[in-house]
Structure 1
Amino acid sequence: MNFSAWPKLLVVDVEGNGGNPPDLVEVAALPIRDGQADKRTAGAWLIRPPRSVTPHATRVHGLRNEDLAGAPTWDKIADQVHGLMRDAWICAHHAHVDYRVLKAHLPKWEPDGVIDTLRLAKATYPDASSYGLDALITHVKPDLSEAPAVGRHRATYDAYATAQLLIAMAAHYETWDQLVAVAVPPSLPGAPEPDKDPTLW
């Protein structure tokens, strides 16, 4: 895989307050440059949501209302997030969720394309027993020695783990186009157009 041929790509992860629809409490965006996760230019934000974090959400990601009391509200950082992700592809695990939540919070933003590592993993490891993030970490054994110390289910950690899984899986494909063909859900930006039937006109 020639990583230098990749477009601008950010691995993203979001965490919510447990509402429906969710309010964001954490966003991470980690660039991939030359086949490496570039933590130096990554973006990571804690956000004080307009509605309280539910006990269930806290059990998942560990963020409590008091942890977010001093964080900025979404309107204070939305332009920063949009600026980092402008004119870029994004990648996420089960990408429909992250794309939908980010799109709801950034209605004027549209990524150039969306890579779903869940979809990519199913094509790359068809014999795997499960395709959740924890199961894939166990299956692929990516190097997470430089992952943020906050742990699983925090946006920065999950973005880093997803980035390492993406890099490992990319090695199974010769070109960016081959990866895109299996990794972009048909309904999301960047999906290849279906071949036209030459018999139709």
Structure 2
Amino acid sequence: MYAILDIETTGGKYNEEGITEIAIYKYNGHEIVDQFISLINPEREIQPFVVNLTGINSSMLRSAPKFYEIAKRIVEITEDCILVAHNAQFDYRILCTEFRRLGFEFERPSLCTVELAKDLIPNQDSYSLGKLVRSLGIPVADRHRAAGDAMATVKLFKMLLDKDSTKSIILESIRLNPKHQLEPRHINIIEEMPAVTGVYYMHKSNGEIIYIGKSNNIKKRVNQHFTNTNPKSKKIQMQVAAVTYEATGSELVALLKESEEIKRNNPIYNRALRRKIFTHALYSFVDEHGYINLKIDIADGRKSPITTFANRQSAKTFMFHMVEEYQLCQKLTGLYNTKTSCFKYDIKECAGACIQKEAPEDYNKRVEALINKNSYKNKNMVIIDRGRDIDERSAILIESGVFKGLGFFNLNYQINNIDVLESIITPMENNRDTQHIIQSYLRKNKQVKQHYFNQV
């Protein structure tokens, strides 16, 4: 659990500043579960430059509560939480100073989004809150007011959690919160899970990830883990102390994250499932008559496939559909083994490429259209799919046929600049598994938007 906060102060000498406004959003890694926002009477003068910056003046604060009147609420809302702030050292110091004046030692673990952003989103022109969120396409309102800046920090922190592929932020949170590790039994864990699409992580009490899975209904899938009686499920049930999750909205994002993070984290109970997620592939070659032939074969890492399939049957089903859609020859697609004409020619549904009656140029145009549609080789494109909220979309970036990574953007902020798009993308490895996942998903989900762009 995180307490994401922002504080506005009077300015002045070091450790003599007073708080004029505070905003705290209690955040569970997915949504805000509590909040506290208040002006505060600092009982001292506000520096003129601060008044100009924030718009908060002394007359606004005369009837505001003094710090000691809201101190208990701050303690309660931040209990068992990690404090998160942009330049956390400043906000934490100011809070501790105010509590010390009351004779109370305020101690909380803290995270700084400036430091996290420098590590997870390098090479930004500026890491000031305003400039950073603007460059990342994060909408912000009421800049230099506590509530607006704290909300912008929530959105930034959400993006940083997405980009933290090693899960170091989550693992540290579990280690720092033993109550969360040991208290829940399986039924309590299940109650905390949402019925949404995403990736889930099963942890031991020390935070170690022992299993990673993907589901269109996380709650239902975790419940299955805890009720199954097979040997692997029983071992997981004995060791699991906490389950964390990432909602993705998009099944494609969930599939890509699951694949990447199993490889990266190497969980002990995923190792038994270590197998190729595809076995067959579609290849092309030009025969002695100049016709492009298509062939389904066992996947070979030394060859460059057009697309890949989970098994031979799904590959054959795909090819039967393509023969119909593109009016191709059964013989030249490997579906009809004959030395003469194919069956479709005999029933007048093939133009005769199988016996060289149709010109290679005409036939090959249709084959090339199929190849172009089902392969993203050398293409620059963004796949736009569902996001985690109604006003959000996911983006999967492919440059020159190489999968670069994925991210999320708000619909209120139009992403029309490739530099902004690249800054919100979490870099991910391009490999044969990711290519198969993307191509297979696009074949099954034809409504998914694909935007093409020219690389500069």
Alignment partner, residue 120 of structure 2 = 124
Provide the residue aligned with 1:155 in structure 2.
146
In the alignment, does 2:168 pair up with 1:168?
no
Q: 1:81 maps to what in 2?
A: 74
Structure 1 vs Structure 2 CA RMSD: 1.8
Q: Which residue of the partner structure matches residue 175 of structure 2?
A: none
Uncovered stretches (5+) of structure 1, i.e. residues with no partner: 1-7, 182-201
Mapping 1:86-165, distance limit 5 Å? 86-107=79-100, 108-111=105-108, 113-144=109-140, 151-165=142-156
RCO greater where, 1 or 2, for CA within 8 Å and sep 6 or more? Answer: 1
What residue number does 1:177 align with?
A: 168
2:32 is matched with which residue: 20, 30, 37? Answer: 37
Deviation at 1:53, TM superposition (A): 1.4
Residue 33 of structure 1: CA displacement? 2.4
Secondary structure of the equivalent of 1:104?
A: helix
TM-score normalised over the length of structure 1 = 0.76
The sequence identity of aligned pairs, in percent, is 28
- Partners of 2:171 and 2:48 lie apart in 1 by 38
Greater C-alpha Rg: 2
The 3-state SS of whatever aligns with 2:3 is strand
Shift of residue 77, structure 1, vs aligned partner: 1.2
For 1:172 and 1:126, locate their aligned partners in 2 and report how far apart those are by CA, in whole Å: 11
Cα offset, 1:122, TM superposition = 0.6
Give deviations 1:58-109, integer Å, cap 9, x for gaps.
1111101001111011111111112211221010001110010011112321
Does residue 1:60 correspond to 2:53, yes or no? yes
Distance 1:161 1:34, change over 3 A: same
CA displacement 1:4-52 (0-9 Å, x = unmatched):
xxxx2011110111232211111111111242234xx201111111112
Structure 1 segments (4+ residues) deviating >3 Å = 178-181
Aligned pair in 2 of structure 1 residues 56, 115: CA closer, same or farther (>3 Å)? same
TM-score of the superposition, structure 2-length normalised? 0.35
Q: Distance in 1 between matches of 2:81 and 2:157?
A: 16
Normalized per residue, the structure richer in strand is 2
2-structure distance, mates of 1:78, 1:59: 27
Residue identity opposite 1:75 in structure 2: Y
CA distance in 1, matches of 2:124, 2:171: 21
Aligned mates of 1:119, 1:180 — CA distance in 2? 17
1:149-192: CA deviation from partner (whole Å, max 9, x where unpaired): xx1011111000011001012111235425678xxxxxxxxxxx
